[in-house]
């Protein structure tokens, strides 16, 4: 249905990347995206134990024969994992595609990635970061506008402006996202010149995503007004689902709270636990596209519907053109 440099580069059916997600992008989620025809991205940062990381890679390969990727995390973290150790395991297990994301391009690891014959896509939020990643040898660039769920950086550029700017600034294929809630958004990002799209928020509602059903139900009722930016005071701005936890974090930040005061609300352990409870969901990254997400569906149906809607949107636009 869609043929782009991204579908060719990664050998996937749909030009859809299933955004990596802290605590959620485990083996089941990753395999489900790939098996559905997109590219699933396992979050290596979920695995401090390299034995469990290796097992997750084996699990994915057992669940799907299709291509998948692994994210290497370059965001600041309290308990930083050595990406070199993750890369050792990835090379050993034959991972073919790497995604890097965070506050810098993976200059220190690109040599190893290339030597192992892996493809690299780097995710960022601005033109200069995209150009930097291309200059060190990234095979594709992912950019997300600040509507997106998760880290937004500090530039605050919308998807509508950022994607074409990056498309015009690099030669490698671009994957665009931030705020895609349905196939119309997917078609729009492709119209901006991207050759692939990335979604995170929409996939929170996939049946295979390991979030408590009660949280998914509440997300189905959320609108585009139900997200907020937090953690800017720590230089780590995130767009999250607005709830009791995040309103408290924002209140503390406004009072000049230090990291220690915020930790009881934002620590990884607490966040992870809350995802499994019928609670307020804790600090759950979530983009403005949530206002367009209304139904929990199996991943295969979700991706099929998305691609179908995008195709319908493109046909509708075509009909607007007189012969």
Ligand X SMILES: Cc1cc2nc3c(=O)[nH]c(=O)nc-3n(C[C@H](O)[C@H](O)[C@H](O)COP(=O)(O)O)c2cc1C
Q: Nearest approach, Cβ of 71 to ligand X (angstroms)?
A: 6
Instruction: Pick the stretch among 49-57, 60-68, 105-113, 193-201 that binds ligand X (CB under 6 A).
Output: 193-201
CB-wise, 144 or 231, nearer to ligand X?
A: 144
Q: Nearest approach, Cβ of 15 to ligand X (angstroms)?
A: 14
Q: How many CB atoms lie within 10 A of CB 62?
A: 10
Q: Nearest approach, Cβ of 300 to ligand X (angstroms)?
A: 19
CB-wise, 118 or 286, nearer to ligand X?
A: 286
Q: Residue from 37, 38, 176, 178 that binds ligand X (CB under 6 A)?
A: 178
Footprint on residues 98-127 left by ligand X (CB under 6 A): 101, 123
Matching residue, tokens 């046909």: 315
CB-wise, 137 or 153, nearer to ligand X?
A: 153
Q: Residue from 37, 106, 149, 173 that binds ligand X (CB under 6 A)?
A: 149
Strands 140-144 and 39-43, by their bridges, are: unpaired
Q: How many CB atoms lie within 10 A of CB 95?
A: 23
CB-wise, 72 or 170, nearer to ligand X?
A: 72
**By rule CB under 6 A, what string of x and - marks binding of each residue 276-315 to ligand X?**
--------xxxx-x--------------------------
Q: Beta partners for 143?
A: 124, 176
Matching residue, tokens 């402006």: 161
Footprint on residues 194-213 left by ligand X (CB under 6 A): 198-202, 204
**Closest among 122, 124, 132, 61 to 90, alpha carbons compared:** 61
CB-wise, 213 or 315, nearer to ligand X?
A: 213
Q: How many CB atoms lie within 10 A of CB 60?
A: 25
Q: Nearest approach, Cβ of 194 to ligand X (angstroms)?
A: 13
| Continuous H helices in the chain | 5-10, 27-35, 50-63, 83-92, 110-115, 127-136, 159-169, 183-191, 213-221, 244-254, 259-266, 268-275, 299-319
CA distance 111 to 162: 28
Assess contact for 197 and 189: CB atoms under 8 A.
yes
**Closest among 160, 155, 126, 119 to 140, alpha carbons compared:** 119
CA distance 84 to 81: 9
Instruction: Pick the stretch among 8-16, 125-133, 140-148, 188-196 that binds ligand X (CB under 6 A).
Output: 140-148
Instruction: Pick the stretch among 80-88, 171-179, 303-311, 315-323 that binds ligand X (CB under 6 A).
Output: 171-179
Assess contact for 120 and 100: CB atoms under 8 A.
yes
Taking CB positions, which residue lies at the least distance from ligand X?
A: 200
CB-wise, 66 or 274, nearer to ligand X?
A: 274
Q: Nearest approach, Cβ of 319 to ligand X (angstroms)?
A: 28
Q: Residue from 30, 34, 148, 233 that binds ligand X (CB under 6 A)?
A: 148
CB-wise, 115 or 265, nearer to ligand X?
A: 265
**Closest among 32, 61, 62, 30 to 304, alpha carbons compared:** 32
**By rule CB under 6 A, what string of x and - marks binding of each residue 37-66 to ligand X?**
------x-x---------------------
CA distance 248 to 233: 14
Which residues in this chain contact ligand X in the complex, by CB under 6 A?
A: 19-22, 24, 43, 45, 71, 73, 101, 123, 144, 147-150, 177-180, 198-202, 204, 284-287, 289
């Amino acid at each position: 249905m869609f043929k782009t440099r991204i579908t060719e580069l990664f050998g996937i059916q749909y030009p859809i990347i299933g955004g990596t997600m802290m605590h959620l992008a485990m083996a089941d989620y990753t395999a489900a995206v790939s098996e559905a025809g997109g590219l699933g991205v396992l979050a290596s940062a979920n695995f401090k134990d390299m034995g469990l990381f290796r097992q997750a890679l084996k699990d994915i390969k057992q669940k799907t024969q299709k291509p998948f990727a692994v994210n290497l995390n370059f965001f600041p973290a309290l308990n930083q994992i050595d990406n070199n150790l993750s890369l050792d395991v990835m090379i050993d297990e034959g991972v073919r595609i790497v995604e890097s994301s965070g506050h810098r391009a993976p200059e220190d690891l690109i040599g190893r990635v290339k030597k192992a014959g892996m493809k690299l896509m780097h995710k960022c939020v601005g033109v200069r970061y995209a150009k930097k990643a291309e200059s060190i040898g990234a095979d594709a660039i992912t950019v997300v506008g600040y509507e997106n769920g998760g880290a937004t950086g500090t530039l605050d550029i919308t998807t509508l402006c950022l994607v074409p700017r990056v498309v015009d600034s690099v030669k490698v294929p671009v994957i665009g996202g931030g705020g895609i809630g349905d196939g119309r958004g997917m078609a729009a990002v492709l119209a901006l010149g991207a050759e692939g799209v990335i979604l995170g928020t929409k996939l929170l509602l996939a049946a295979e995503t390991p979030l408590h059903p009660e949280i998914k139900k509440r997300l189905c009722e959320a609108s585009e007004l139900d997200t907020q930016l937090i953690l800017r005071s720590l230089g780590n701005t995130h767009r999250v689902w607005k709830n009791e936890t995040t309103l408290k974090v924002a209140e503390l930040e406004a009072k000049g709270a230090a990291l220690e005061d915020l930790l009881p609300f934002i620590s990884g352990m607490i966040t992870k636990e809350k995802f499994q409870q019928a609670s307020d969901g804790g600090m759950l990254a979530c983009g403005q596209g949530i206002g367009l997400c209304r139904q929990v569906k199996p991943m295969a149906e979700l991706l099929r519907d998305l691609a179908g809607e995008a195709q319908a949107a493109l046909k509708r636009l075509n009909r607007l053109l007189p012969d």
